Amino acid sequence: MRKFDKYLSVAILALLAACSGDDSASSNEVESSSSEVLPESSSSPVSSSSIVQSSSSIVAVPCKTETEDNCKYGTLVDERDGQTYRTVIIGEQEWMAENLNYAYLQPTATLDSSSWCYDNDPENCETFGRLYLWSAAMDSAALFSEDGKGCGFAKSTTSGVEIVYKICMNDSVRGVCPEGWHLPSEDDIFILEDAVSDSSLSFKSTSGWDEGCNGIDAYGMSLMPTGFYRTQFSPDRFSGKGSYALFWTSSEVGINQAAGVQISCSYSTILIPGGTSDKSDAYSVRCIKDE
């Protein structure tokens, strides 16, 4: 039912966008938005949507304390650039325990890149990974697979007369992830939520957050407060480091929105797949291993 509702919403939004008049980006570009509409507040980049939980056959048990670490870790080597990432098994899923740092630098219709280091500082990439537009997270330019090809913003031709829009709601999209891994869908997040029962403290890293906001990292996922980047938010486009951990899913919400996941200082909820994550924002990427 969730997918049917989303398809219906996309169809309605596509009709409303018929008069937008956006030009098409070239076929070798990652698509971006020309909309100037911004979220109401930079302190709340993602809002929650209603969630119907799916069931998981495996319940995850906290595996890490201040004195012991019994989590099941692994190692992922990205053959594209040789970078090595820690992975962790939570319930029936294996997740990257670090944010992706692959330099996906495809230009968009309006920008010379589609992923960034926070504050354009390479040291932040080493610590926090890169921040990706949704189209980059989906590999809209199809550098690695056809799964997310053309997935970005709605666009139109000849002054908005004809809508050109690809529905991008695939359950499994490799996107910018290494081979054998994929960008998590909302269903992947629901399974993770079903497998655990703790608060967001259990997913936050034990350091790096603003005062009073560090977590206990009970499952070894070590979500860092990486912040985000708003391509339409000037002059302070980078924001939220220390207070927000945000990463993309492959699930589309509308023409200009996709489901992002948020953990912050102000929310105790475990994970929030959101209904108003603007595709023109840049978030982190956490990949999940293919089944």
Most confident of 4-18, 83-97, 182-196, 262-276: 83-97
* pLDDT at residue number 100: 98
Q: What is the DSSP letter of 77?
A: E
Q: What is the DSSP letter of 25?
A: P
* pLDDT at residue number 272: 63
Is residue 9 within 8 A of residue 87, CB to CB? The reply is: no
* pLDDT at residue number 175: 96
* pLDDT at residue number 154: 59
d(CA 280, CA 290): 27
Instruction: State pLDDT tens for residues 172-215.
Output: 899 999 999 999 999 999 899 888 877 788 999 999 999 999 99
Burial 145-176 (b: 16+ CB within 10 A, else e): eebbbbbbbbbbeeeeeebebbebbbebbbbb
Residues 42, 193, 263: CA angle, nearest 5 degrees? 20
Which pTM was predicted? 0.79
Range with lowest mean pLDDT among 216-230, 234-248, 265-279: 265-279
Within 10 Å of residue 90's Cβ, how many Cβ atoms? 24
- At 10, the pLDDT band (50, 70, 90 cuts) reads very low
Rounded to an integer, the average pLDDT of 262-266 is 85
The pLDDT of residue 274 is above 50 = yes
Residues 6+ apart with CB under 8 A from 50: none
Residues 30, 176, 164: CA angle, nearest 5 degrees? 35
**Per-chain mean pLDDT for the chain:** 79
- For residues 25 and 88, the model is more confident at 88
d(CA 151, CA 174): 12
The pLDDT of residue 52 is above 50 = no
Residues in the chain: 291
The pLDDT of residue 40 is above 60 = no
The pLDDT of residue 236 is above 90 = no
- At 256, the pLDDT band (50, 70, 90 cuts) reads confident
Q: Sign of torsion, CA 270 275 281 287?
A: positive
d(CA 214, CA 212): 6
